[in-house]
Chains A and B, each alone.
Chain A
Amino acid sequence: MLRIANLVKSYGKADPVLKGLDLEVPGESMVSIIGASGAGKSTLIRCINRLVEPTSGTIELNGVKLTELKGKALRLARRRIGMVFQSFNLVDRLTVMENVQSGRLGYIPTWRAALRRYPKQDIRRAFELMERVGIAHYANKRADALSGGERQRVGVVRALMQEPEILLADEPTASLDPKTSEQIMALLRSLSRELHLPVLINIHNVAEAKAYTDRIVGMRYGRIIFDDVPAKLDDEAMERIYSGIPAEDRRADAPIPAEASAIPAERQVEAQPS
């Protein structure tokens, strides 16, 4: 269970990018986060494993308060959080196997990492996962010799090798063509079910979000304004999430009442004291 409470992220004196978010992700669900550019989706995801430092608020994963950890404790906690990136973020010159095993770096001693003498069970698990996603025959190939979709699969296997309690994905399909994109989304969904793994995906393709995820969280300008099943994401909700421009949002900014998800932004402006 991932619990986010009152998460705020601001850079200097400018408007906060995240304005006090609350979110709960119970185990074994696939949740997508949608929103226009600049809504704060990527910042939210990166705050969870503290690639971006939250300004205030708490993030708790299965009872561990991630926001309070430092140094070694933070590293140990990060092992339990897997992440898949838009640009795959593989080490191009290393082989697929080495890239996949780099997911275990938080677990194995340095000498094993340096000499590439990985533990037997890690090698077995790697081949198992690579078979599952269909890249086992690439084990000895350099990562940059693979296609985009194949590289993202390597990224997924790397994340899974960590035996994570949650999987984060930051626009995992943005760099892929439509067909490959769907394959990856389908893969994430089936893995999520098989491994009972909660998956939080930052995505801008709303059709894919509707088709492959169980719950959609819509963000707008640093706040969550929609949180429901895909079926409830109708045109009106889409309008709320995606219309408008940041300048208007800045002018209309006001504290949001608890039932904000039911009030469209335009009506919020009228409700504001002048």
Chain B
Amino acid sequence: MKSPLPETWSKPPAIANPVLRYGLILAVAVYAVWAIGTLPFDWARISDGVGRAGRIFSGAFPPSFERPGLMLEGFLESLQIAIIATAAGVLLSVPIALMSARNLAPMPVYILGRGIIICARSFHPVIVAIIFVKAVGFGPLAGMLTLMVYSIGFVAKMLAERIEEIDWGQVEAVRAAGASYLSTLIYAVFPQIMPRQIGLSIYQLDSNLRASAVVGIVGAGGIGATLANAFKRYDYDFALAIIMVIVGAILISEAVSGMIRKRIW
């Protein structure tokens, strides 16, 4: 006797355990309600804001390029900061990455290396910039140090991951031939990581260029400082011009960096 055909069907849920499933949905709902509730939304201020937005935008158009000297100076400084920070950061990333690769470094060194990377990555460059400004004063030096740390946080981490993925056979072969530690590095490790390192460096140059525009806002030099001043003085048309230049530079830099990286892949 054949059983009758089913008339209902429902899709098996993604989370099988009903307690877990409903518990999760409930938790998310409760969080959403609570989080939105704790945020002070002042409706009067919001409606004011819309009016103010109109004023700001009309003040911002047309963008004022009347002080090209100032913009160019700020922009060039940002570029210089980015170049130096990338060069220094990338150079420093190599030993740090070597220290942070599980297959090359002994445990205590590994922990130290990874610790450095975690500290470098966890703090937003703006926070790092503020600290450096307090330590070494206003100006591009603080910006360079900030972006060096920023570079190390990214490049060393990616490089360490690449090192952990290298073909160990090549290292063994060179070692078996009697090479010293340094020679092994140069002949077996570096050739494998060089392409990735170059790609990362170019990517980081692009990243640093973007970031240098911003660390200037807290006093670390570059066009960010010019922008912050414009905002403070309500020079919205100048500010818009600066933003447009920044966006333009970022687009060009991204395009160039993408092109170069595609060719070396």
Contacts and interface: CB of A to CB of B under 8 A. Distances in A.
A116 interface: yes
Interface in B1-17: 5-12
B11 A124 contact: no
A88 interface: no
Contact of B11 (A98, A120, A123): A98
A103 B10 CA distance: 17
Contacts of A128: 5
Nearest to B7: A120
Contacts of B5: 124, 127-128, 131
A127 B11 contact: no
Contacts of A116: 10-11
Interface string A124-146: 10111001000000011000000
A15 B6 CA distance: 53
B16 to A, nearest CB: 12
A95 B12 contact: yes
A85 interface: no
Interface in B215-263: none
Contacts of B10: 116-117
A128 B6 CA distance: 9
B243 to A, nearest CB: 41
Contacts of B9: 97, 118, 123, 126, 139
B175 to A, nearest CB: 44
A108 to B, nearest CB: 14
Nearest to A120: B7
Interface residues of B, number: 8
A41 B11 CA distance: 38
Interface string B1-38: 00001111111100000000000000000000000000
A223 to B, nearest CB: 45
Interface in A182-214: none
A128 B11 CA distance: 18
Interface in B103-153: none
Contacts of A140: 11-12
Contacts of A117: 10
A196 B6 CA distance: 26
Contact of A95 (B6, B7, B8, B11): B11
Instruction: From B8, B9, B11, name the one whose CB has the most chain A CB atoms within 10 angstroms.
Output: B9
Contacts of B11: 95, 97-98, 116, 140
Nearest to B6: A127
Nearest to A123: B9
Nearest to A124: B5
A18 to B, nearest CB: 40
Contacts of A97: 9, 11
B6 A124 contact: yes
Contacts of B7: 120, 123-124
Nearest to B12: A140
A123 to B, nearest CB: 5
Nearest to B11: A116
Interface string A213-241: 00000000000000000000000000000
Contacts of A126: 9
Contacts of B8: 120, 123
A216 to B, nearest CB: 37
A29 to B, nearest CB: 30
Nearest to A128: B5
B237 to A, nearest CB: 48
Nearest to B4: A124
A93 to B, nearest CB: 11
Contacts of B6: 123-124, 127
Contacts of A124: 5-7
Contacts of A123: 6-9
A53 B140 CA distance: 63
Interface of A: 95, 97-98, 116-118, 120, 123-124, 126-128, 131, 139-140
26 contacts: A95-B11, A95-B12, A97-B9, A97-B11, A98-B11, A116-B10, A116-B11, A117-B10, A118-B9, A120-B7, A120-B8, A123-B6, A123-B7, A123-B8, A123-B9, A124-B5, A124-B6, A124-B7, A126-B9, A127-B5, A127-B6, A128-B5, A131-B5, A139-B9, A140-B11, A140-B12
For the complex of A and B, list the 3 residue pairs with the smallest distance between their C-beta atoms, beginning with the closest. A120-B7, A127-B5, A124-B5
Interface of B: 5-12
Given A120-B8, A123-B9, 17 more contacts: A95-B11, A95-B12, A98-B11, A116-B11, A117-B10, A118-B9, A123-B6, A123-B7, A123-B8, A124-B6, A124-B7, A126-B9, A127-B5, A127-B6, A131-B5, A140-B11, A140-B12
